Amino acid sequence: MSAGRQPRSIVILGGGTAGWMAANLFQHHWGKLGTRVTLIESSDIGIIGVGEGSTPQLKHFFDTLGIAEGEWMPRCSATYKTGIEFLGWSERPGHGSYFHPFPTAVDSFTAPQFFYNTRARRTGRDVWAHPDRFFLPTALAHQCRAPLAPPNFPFLTSYGYHFDAHLLGAFLREVATRRGVEHVDANIASVAVGANAEIEALVADDGRRFEADLFVDASGFRAVIIEGALGEPHRGFGENLFNDRAVVTPTPLPAEAPGVCTRATAKSAGWIWHIPLTNRVGNGYVYSSRYTDPDAAADELRAHLGLPAGAEVRHLQMRVGRVERSWVGNCLAIGLAQGFLEPLEATALHIVLATVESFIKAVDADGQSPEAHDAFNDRIARRYEGIRDYIVCHYRAALRSDTDYWRDATGHDELSDSLKDIFTAWFTGGDVAEEFARQDIGGYYSALSWHCMLAGYGNFPDDGRIRPPGDDIEIFDMDEVDRFIHGCALNFPAHQSALNLLKEAA
Ligand X SMILES: Cc1cc2nc3c(=O)[nH]c(=O)nc-3n(C[C@H](O)[C@H](O)[C@H](O)COP(=O)(O)OP(=O)(O)OC[C@H]3O[C@@H](n4cnc5c(N)ncnc54)[C@H](O)[C@@H]3O)c2cc1C
CB of 263 to ligand X, least distance (A): 12
Q: Which residues bind ligand X (CB under 6 A)?
A: 13-19, 40-42, 45-48, 50-54, 165, 187-188, 218-220, 222, 224, 246, 284, 286, 316, 318, 335-337, 343, 346, 348-349
The CB-of-407 to ligand X minimum distance in angstroms stands at 24
Phi/psi of residue 182, each to 5°? -85, 135
Contact 188, 229 (CB under 8 A): no
- Between the CA of residue 456 and those of 207, 453, 503, what are the distances in Å? 57, 5, 36
The strand pair at 214-217 and 79-81 is best described as: unpaired
List phi, psi (to 5°) of 467. Answer: -125, 165
Nearest to residue 444, comparing CAs of 421, 419, 415, 410?
419
Select 277 or 448, whichever has its Cβ closest to ligand X: 277
Beta carbon nearer to ligand X, 118 or 243 = 243
Which residue, 49 or 70, is less far from ligand X as judged by CB?
49
Distance in angstroms (rounded) separating the CA atoms of residues 52 and 354: 18
Helices (H) and strands (E) counted in the chain, each on its own, are 15, 21
Q: Among the residues of 233-369, which ranges form H helices?
A: 294-305, 348-366
Smallest distance from ligand X to CB 178, Å: 19
Residue type, 146: A
Among residues 105, 103, 137, 133, which one has the least CA distance to residue 118?
A: 133
In angstroms, give the least distance from the CB of 412 to ligand X: 23
Instruction: Pick between residue 390 and residue 423 the one whose CB is nearest to ligand X.
Output: 390
Smaller CB distance to ligand X: residue 103 or 282?
Answer: 282
Closer residue to ligand X, CB minimum distance, 11 or 246: 246
- Residue 362, phi then psi, degrees to nearest 5: -65, -45
**Which of 243, 330, 232, 238 minimizes the C-alpha distance to 284?**
243
Residue 313 C-beta: closest distance to ligand X, Å: 12
- In the chain, the amino acid numbered 456 is G
Residue among 59, 81, 267, 420 flagged as catalytic: 81
In the complex, what is the shortest distance from the CB of residue 61 to ligand X, in angstroms, rounded to a whole number? 11
Tell me whether residue 503 is one of the annotated catalytic residues.
no
Catalytic positions are 81
